[in-house]
Structure 1
Amino acid sequence: MPASFRIYSSSAGSGKTYQLTKEYLLLALGADDPAYFKRVLAITFTNDAAGEMKHRIVDALRDFAYPKVGKTDGLLAEVAAELKLPTAEVQRRAAATFRLVLYHYADFGVSTIDSFVQRIVTAFTRELGLPATFEVELDTDAVLQSAVAALLDKVNRDPNSKLLSQTLAEYALGQAEEGKSWSRLPEELAGFGRVLFNETVQEAVAQLGKLSLADFRRLDKQIRTRRGEIEAAFAQTQEVGAAILEQADVRVDDLYYGKTGIGQYVQKGVALLQADGGPNSYVRKTLNEDKWHGGKIKSPADKARVDAVREPLTALMATLDKMRTEYLPNYTLLTAMQPYLFHVSLLSELNKLVEQISLERNVVLISEFNRRIASIVLTEPVPFLYERLGERYEHILIDEFQDTSVLQWNNLLPLVENTLANGHSSLAVGDAKQAIYRWRGGEMEQILRLHQGNTAALVARARDEEMRELLRLRYETLDPALQARALQMNYRSAREIVVFNNSFFEAVSGRHAELGLVSGIYDAHFGQEVPDTAPGVTSPPDPLSKPAFFLSP
């Protein structure tokens, strides 16, 4: 059988754990070597899930080896059929493997991804600059609070921290200007500092860390200057609009729709820089349908006064439209950046203190593991990694793949690629729909792109050119081996629920086909079926007429 990396779409209740157990047994019993189970690594995300999987695998091996009299084992029959082996041979292999699993339970490779990553970190303590006897710190908030306290204390004790003092003072003043309490500075800093432990923005944080406090102060000055220039340009248009009306002796009420029309609009000035500050329908109607006269303009003399402002106001409107198109996006971005600039400028200082405190306490934050080993796993030869770990895995099974963060997958990718290069198969199981919760930094796009075989999109997301090249080389081996699979039978939910959900998401997907990635979640691979024996309705309800709880039982 050729090497493959199968991506299973597995919604809730579709027998995912059963499938993973069967896949593990097929690999462990497929070779006539009772110790081959040591070459299979199954990764999940919680201790409970890892414990359940271990329990199921051990129970299955025991039931295979020592079957109960008069009981038919459907899983044993499936495994024997797929391995194309007599049932007695599968039972013999299961008995030998079961015995070794009990004697060498530490080599039973079913663990959480954090446990596996910790083993890699332990194997590379010297390369990662860690003390040999470090402890894992789970409470990142405690370390962050200590770092914030040390940062504020540094202002009082360090005579060379004048720039830091100014930055903190300006940050507090900015909070006060926004109506927030400056006295909550420690809580604000700690809340914003949590971004240091967020895997999804670590590349950006690393880039920002290259800037000094002085760099941020210069950037703040440049932003304020640029915003002032843009505001001055729009303030000038307000003066121009008022002058045009004054010279022609035309009041706002003389124009079509008065205070909601074009006369008021051309005098809005800086207010035009609001996202919703564009011309309303009355202003557009004045221009498009040539409607300029207000309701009280009747005499030829009054009409002549209004007609005198047509040409200059039309030209001014063209200028305002052009200015909004040119300046509004940048102004909006600069305005959004301004309040957080001093937050960001302090990230690097907080990060240095977090590292210092961790070193003093001889701890490593669990959130740091994936970031620290990224350079090791992606750049070192995989055989060298396994040599340091003291183990070599030929197959990798990943559970709850939708919860795998980008950094975690990038760290696992070389190991999966190595299994394929050596002619062995691996797999991942997940549900893209559940990735919308972004638990643990999981991304919907990751599992969906792999399921679609579009790895180029995953490579393109990397900000760093070197990282993109490393990923591209890894995916060259993975691409030909990708196989999309689906576990579509729902054994848990009532037929009404499954039928309604399929109908609802099919309707939503059809109405929003332009969303591409989102609508791709609800294609044929991601829908669900129900067993023929399941009770309930058989015809789909109108998915957009009634909520699910109105369906008749």
Structure 2
Amino acid sequence: MNTLTNPFIIYKSSAGSGKTYTLTLEYLKLALQQPQTAFKHILAVTFTNKATQEMKERILKVLGQLSRKEISGSELEKVLMESLGLGPEELQSRAKQTLLHILHGYGYFAVSTIDSFFQLVIRSFAREMDLQAKFDLEMDTDAVLERLVDRLVEKVSRDKNLRTWLVDYAKEQIENEKSWDIRSGIKSLGSEIFKEGFKAYRLLFQQSVAQEGFLGEFRQYIRSERAKLKVEAESMKQKAEEIRVAHGLEWTDFKGGTRSFALNFGRLGDPEKPFTKLEASRIEKLNDLSEWASKTSKLLSQIENSYSNGLLEILNQIPVKQIQWNTFEALHRNLNAFGVFRDLILELRELKDEESILLISDVNDFLQEITKDNDAPFIYEKIGNQYRNFLIDEFQDTSEFQWSSFKPLLENSLAS
């Protein structure tokens, strides 16, 4: 919000505490300054159509009451007179003029949902963004997701790769004691497409997973790297065993006996879990020789020598190898999901082209493209208006993408 005295004001309030009244009052303080033109330079955004309608009705109702002196002596009238430095008669006159000009120029009465405003901006830039002039803004992403799932299921009979992905995905779900119902699984995966968390990585996804043949090559790469790590684990175990034998030790001779950390050397190379689950913090403590043997141990000298002759070095390799193995295991487990996700992305692209729709979840992406290369005056020129004052309802619900789209306009307002 931009005023001479307070360029930026934040109101915090709970539900039912008079938020709409406060926003209406702030709007009127701005609009009544210049009855003929001020309202044209105010943008009030809300998050629901209901809130938009309520705010519009409240503003018009109060202007009507002020112009007919129906609320003389009210707290609202007193606040407006004090804020604007007006007497009762002048306030009544300005209210009449403001109401008249709003009704005659209703298109400039900019109280709308945040999505409606963004749609206005996008339509203004349709040519620059190579959008069809008659695209429809699709608000119901759940309905789109349902159609997307239907289309994907229909393709199963004629798309061998997709069928393979879905069968393997269903098997994995069963093995993990989850529902084998592929529709619910596909919907769960598909819902991620519309979330901002995915959008941050969408370009990377398009450059990799979405490319033809990538997943097959990636599967081979994962298999190769897992095999290499298993070989490394076996090599580490063999070397550790050689050091133990060379010093005449058993793993139970180390501190802790039958519960000694040293038993983990003998577990290296396990087919399912090649690297021991020793915590990094525990391994860090084991860099201290006193953690390897008690002071009274008869084998203290041999343990100290085994520590220095390679066991400590092997031990310190384990955390890094653990991370590498766990990473490839996670990729291996989710590879089938990646395959289904890839098909969802490609199918969604076709659906949007066929139905000429722009998803509400994509609006902010377009806006970012628009605002990153254009300054605020040019954007205002395209939408046919110049906003100097902004009222944002439920600001805490503004997403990062929405905020980044609004930010250039607000910065321009605060700087002017």
1:403 aligns with 2:397: yes
Give the aligned partner of residue 30 of structure 2. 27
CA distance in 1 between counterparts of 2:87 and 2:315 reads 78
Give the aligned partner of residue 256 of structure 1. 255
CA distance in 2 between counterparts of 1:171 and 1:289 reads 46
> What TM-score do the two structures reach when normalised by structure 1?
0.64
Give the aligned partner of residue 293 of structure 2. 291
Deviation at 1:23, TM superposition (A): 2.0
Structure 1: which 5+ residue stretches go unaligned?
Answer: 298-302, 424-553
Deviation at 1:363, TM superposition (A): 3.2
Measured against aligned partners, the alpha-carbon deviations of 1:102-138 in whole angstroms (never above 9, x if no partner) come to 4544432111111212223333444444443333333
| Mapped contact 1:34–1:93 kept (Cα < 8 A) | no
1:199 aligns with 2:196: yes
CA distance in 1 between counterparts of 2:166 and 2:292 reads 55
Give the aligned partner of residue 219 of structure 1. 218
Deviation at 1:221, TM superposition (A): 2.6
Measured against aligned partners, the alpha-carbon deviations of 1:417-452 in whole angstroms (never above 9, x if no partner) come to 33345x3xxxxxxxxxxxxxxxxxxxxxxxxxxxxx
Give the aligned partner of residue 187 of structure 1. 184
SS at match of 1:43: strand
Decide which of 354, 374, 383 is 1:360's aligned counterpart: 354
| Mapped contact 1:285–1:291 kept (Cα < 8 A) | no
SS at match of 1:256: coil
Give the aligned partner of residue 92 of structure 2. 91
CA distance in 2 between counterparts of 1:279 and 1:258 reads 21
**For residues 265 and 157 of structure 1, do their structure 2 counterparts lie closer, same or farther at Cα, with a shift above 3 Å needed?**
closer
**For residues 247 and 420 of structure 1, do their structure 2 counterparts lie closer, same or farther at Cα, with a shift above 3 Å needed?**
closer
1:351 aligns with 2:345: yes
| Mapped contact 2:240–2:311 kept (Cα < 8 A) | no
**For residues 241 and 259 of structure 1, do their structure 2 counterparts lie closer, same or farther at Cα, with a shift above 3 Å needed?**
farther
Measured against aligned partners, the alpha-carbon deviations of 1:225-284 in whole angstroms (never above 9, x if no partner) come to 333333432333333334444455544444432221133233232558466545759x84
Letter in 1 for 2:221: Q
Give the aligned partner of residue 520 of structure 1. none
| Mapped contact 2:132–2:356 kept (Cα < 8 A) | yes
SS at match of 1:12: coil
Deviation at 1:195, TM superposition (A): 1.8
| Mapped contact 2:45–2:52 kept (Cα < 8 A) | yes
SS at match of 1:378: helix
SS at match of 2:213: helix
Give the aligned partner of residue 412 of structure 1. 406
SS at match of 1:79: helix
**For residues 410 and 117 of structure 1, do their structure 2 counterparts lie closer, same or farther at Cα, with a shift above 3 Å needed?**
same
| Mapped contact 2:40–2:109 kept (Cα < 8 A) | yes
Decide which of 330, 334, 338 is 2:328's aligned counterpart: 334
> What is the RMSD of the two structures over their aligned residues, measured on CA atoms?
3.5
CA distance in 1 between counterparts of 2:214 and 2:380 reads 43
| Mapped contact 2:252–2:259 kept (Cα < 8 A) | no
CA distance in 1 between counterparts of 2:318 and 2:86 reads 73
CA distance in 1 between counterparts of 2:37 and 2:235 reads 81
Map 1:285-324 to 2 at 5 A: 287-288=289-290, 291-292=293-294, 303-304=298-299, 307-313=301-307, 315-324=309-318
Measured against aligned partners, the alpha-carbon deviations of 1:438-467 in whole angstroms (never above 9, x if no partner) come to xxxxxxxxxxxxxxxxxxxxxxxxxxxxxx
SS at match of 2:390: strand
**For residues 388 and 253 of structure 1, do their structure 2 counterparts lie closer, same or farther at Cα, with a shift above 3 Å needed?**
closer
Letter in 2 for 1:193: G
Give the aligned partner of residue 140 of structure 1. 141
| Mapped contact 1:292–1:310 kept (Cα < 8 A) | no
| Mapped contact 2:64–2:95 kept (Cα < 8 A) | yes
Map 1:49-198 to 2 at 5 A: 49-68=51-70, 72-154=73-155, 156-157=157-158, 164=162, 167-168=165-166, 171-172=169-170, 174-175=172-173, 178-180=176-178, 183-198=180-195
Map 1:8-19 to 2 at 5 A: 8=10, 10-12=12-14, 16-19=19-22
**For residues 242 and 198 of structure 1, do their structure 2 counterparts lie closer, same or farther at Cα, with a shift above 3 Å needed?**
same
Deviation at 1:173, TM superposition (A): 5.3
**For residues 332 and 19 of structure 1, do their structure 2 counterparts lie closer, same or farther at Cα, with a shift above 3 Å needed?**
farther
Give the aligned partner of residue 40 of structure 1. 42
| Mapped contact 2:293–2:303 kept (Cα < 8 A) | no
**For residues 11 and 286 of structure 1, do their structure 2 counterparts lie closer, same or farther at Cα, with a shift above 3 Å needed?**
same
| Mapped contact 1:256–1:286 kept (Cα < 8 A) | no
CA distance in 1 between counterparts of 2:200 and 2:291 reads 52
Letter in 1 for 2:62: A
Deviation at 1:207, TM superposition (A): 2.3
> What TM-score do the two structures reach when normalised by structure 2?
0.82
Letter in 1 for 2:55: M
**For residues 11 and 276 of structure 1, do their structure 2 counterparts lie closer, same or farther at Cα, with a shift above 3 Å needed?**
farther
Deviation at 1:312, TM superposition (A): 0.9
SS at match of 1:85: coil
**For residues 317 and 278 of structure 1, do their structure 2 counterparts lie closer, same or farther at Cα, with a shift above 3 Å needed?**
farther
CA distance in 2 between counterparts of 1:129 and 1:351 reads 21
